[in-house]
Structure 1
Amino acid sequence: MGERGFLALGDSYTIGEGVPEAGRWPVQLAHRLDVGAPRIVATTGWTTDELSAAMDAAHLHPGYDLVTLLIGVNNQYRGRPAAEYREQFLALLHRAIGLAGDARRVVVVSIPDWGVTPFAEGRDRAAIGREIDTFNAIAKDETLRAFARWVDVTGISREHAGMVVGDGLHPSAAQYALWVEAILPEARAAFREVSHQGKP
């Protein structure tokens, strides 16, 4: 492990809206990796541009061993265009890579589908799902193009739609534990990049 450890960037899903601190997926992931507590820069409701502004205010510096990025649901929720999302997501991805020093130490996590949750009752669930899929396709395309790591948790969110907190929208700690199982292999591979750095 380097000096700075693990940085998690995102929105309500990363800060773990409605779950105890120990239930947040970055905290669960750090525990599984046996590393120190993550630094989390995330707030419920943030869009891509709001996360970018918060990163400016946080005065982040390069040297993180692992950086995770999960952002975009609020762009979709507010009806922001996919083209704008691509541009702003790509800028965030490049910032994440800069903070990690290596694209292979960046793990991008897909946007879960809130359209399957009880909160979405009465809304066009299929349309929400299609829009989430569009945003995820953009994020996956840019992530793989940059040689960063991609983890899809959207299927988990759809399969376990009932595993939510009291607001009927955000995942429970138990659902986040399933996310961690999916993220863990890529996160471990990212840390191997740290241990191999500078070796032939």
Structure 2
Amino acid sequence: MLLFKVYGVMKASTSLLALMLLLGNCNNHPSPSKQGNGDKSGASYLALGDSYTIGESVPQEQRWPVLLADALNKSGKPVQSPYIIARSGWTTRDLLNAIQNYTPEKPYDMVSLLIGVNNQYRGRSLEEFRTEFHELLIKSIGYAGGEKENVFVLSIPDWGVTPYGTANRESIAKEINNFNSVAKEECKKEKILFIDITPISRTALNDPSMIASDNLHFSGKMYQLWVNEALGLVKSKI
């Protein structure tokens, strides 16, 4: 349970609203938010995840999968606008439920996965995360037509550096590290590229411009740094 300093009812309401943006609807498994502009030129790209992938509190053009596609296009690697299946609040189980019946007409040339922050926030076990994350890896490989080299994972960023993580910054960081260790281990088993952007996310502690307007998620400036980290590694896959 996260503890926050509360100064009156207004402060408590603000905190609750911001955390709802992270959690989403805990009791339902809503339809995924799917994005794409219909452009069929270039490599196809599927992005799976949660609030970070859908870009909570940032414009569509600042979502990190969109920024990555733009960067790849500018580097001479034609990529379609990403097809995004993500929603704020999703755990690994929520994402699995959302894609249970998703059967694309043909394999994607590139598949990314970033998931787990809500497992950490809700106090879900590492064992459960390991099982469900591995299942998501297998699903991702399937969406890539069985080509493991066309799948990559971004580590879970550390939301403890945001204003709403202040009270439990150290414990959040430790738990995020533990979840990322599991994700890295499972990626290694399946020979999937694991890109560690967590240290980059922690630089937001000293740069408010890397935090989104809700004071809980990251800004497009931060997402661009993730893209800069991933670009060289992903570019070689296309």
TM-score (norm 1): 0.90
Aligned to 1:7: 46
SS at match of 2:218: coil
Quick one: distance in 2 between partners of 1:69 and 1:36?
A: 17
Are 2:162 and 2:204, in contact at CA under 8 Å, matched by a contact in 1?
no
The unaligned stretches of length 5 or more in structure 1 are 192-200
Per-residue deviation, 1:33: 1.1
Residue identity matched to 1:51: L
Query: What is the CA deviation profile of residues 6-31 of structure 1, one whole-angstrom value per residue up to 9, with x for unaligned ones?
Result: 00000000000000000000000001
Instruction: Give the corresponding residue for 1:32.
Output: 71
Shift of residue 121 of structure 1?
Answer: 2.5
Cα distance between partner residues in 2 of 1:61 and 1:97: 15
Residues 1-200 of structure 1: matches in 2 within 5 Å? 5-34=44-73, 35-100=79-144, 101-122=146-167, 124-161=168-205, 162=208, 163-191=210-238
| AA at the equivalent of 2:129 | Y
Q: Distance in 2 between matches of 1:107 and 1:134?
A: 19
CA contact (8 A) 2:42 2:80 kept: no
Counterpart contact for 2:66–2:81, Cα < 8 Å? yes
Contact 2:165 2:172 in 1 (8 A): no
Higher Rg: 2
Shift in alpha-carbon separation, 1:143–1:62, aligned structure 2, 3 A: farther
Q: 2:96 corresponds to which letter in structure 1? A: S
2:211 aligns to what SS in structure 1? coil
Question: Is 1:45–1:74's contact at 8 Å kept on the other side of the alignment?
Answer: yes
**CA deviation map 1:15-60 (0-9, x unaligned):** 0000000000000000111111000000000000100111124433
Letter in 2 for 1:121: T
CA shift at 1:3, angstroms? Answer: 7.9
C-alpha distance in structure 1 between counterparts of 2:101 and 2:142, whole Å: 17
SS in structure 2 of the partner of residue 104 of structure 1: helix
Post-superposition shift, 1:2?
8.6
CA distance, structure 1, for counterparts of residue 54 and residue 104 of structure 2: 18
- C-alpha distance in 2 between matches for 1:12 and 1:65: 23
Over the residues paired in the alignment, what is the CA RMSD in angstroms?
1.6
- Between the aligned partners of 1:62 and 1:91, the Cα distance in structure 2 is 20
> What does the per-residue CA deviation read over 1:143-171, in whole Å, with 9 as the maximum and x for residues that have no partner?
12211111011001101233111111111
Stretch deviating more after TM superposition (144-153 or 80-89): 144-153
* Gap change, CA 1:52 and 1:45, over 3 Å in 2: same
Partners in 1 of 2:106 and 2:199 — Cα distance?
A: 32
Amino acid at match of 1:24: R
* Alpha-carbon distance in 2 for matches of 1:60, 1:78: 31
Whole-Å separation in 2 of the counterparts to 1:36 and 1:43 = 21
TM-score normalised by length of structure 2: 0.76
